[in-house]
Amino acid sequence: MQKRKLGKSNLEVSALGLGCMGMSWSYSPVPDRNEMISLLRAAVERGVTFFDTAEVYGPYTNEELVGEALAPFRGRVVIATKFGWKPAFEGEARWSRLDSRPEHIQQSVEGSLKRLRVDAIDLYYQHRVDPEVPIEDVAGAVKDLIRQGKVKHFGLSEAAGNTIRRAHGVQPVTAVQSEYSLWYREPEKEVLPVLEELGIGFVPFSPLGKGFLTGKIDENTTFDSSDFRNIVPRFNPENRKANQALVGLLENIAKRKNATPGQIALAWLLAQKPWIVPIPGTTKLHRLEENIRATAAELTRDDLGDIEDAAARITVQGARYPEHLEQMSNR
Reduce the secondary structure of 234-291 to three states and give it as a string: HHCHHHHHHCHHHHHHHHHHHHHHCCCHHHHHHHHHHHHCCCECCCCECCCHHHHHHH
Query: What is the C-alpha to C-alpha distance for residues 14 and 278, in angstroms, rounded to an integer?
Result: 10
Q: Is 124 a catalytic residue?
A: no
Burial class (CB in 10 A: 0-12, 13-18, 19+), 242: middle
Query: What is the C-alpha to C-alpha distance for residues 186 and 190, in angstroms, rounded to an integer?
Result: 8
In sequence order, what are the beta bridge partners of 276? 202
Q: Give Rg (Cα) of the chain.
A: 19
Burial class (CB in 10 A: 0-12, 13-18, 19+), 305: exposed
Choose the catalytic residue: 57, 124, 125, 184: 57
> Which residues lie below 8 Å from residue 66, measured CB to CB, with a gap of 6+?
20, 40, 51, 53, 79, 116
* Active-site annotation, residues: 57
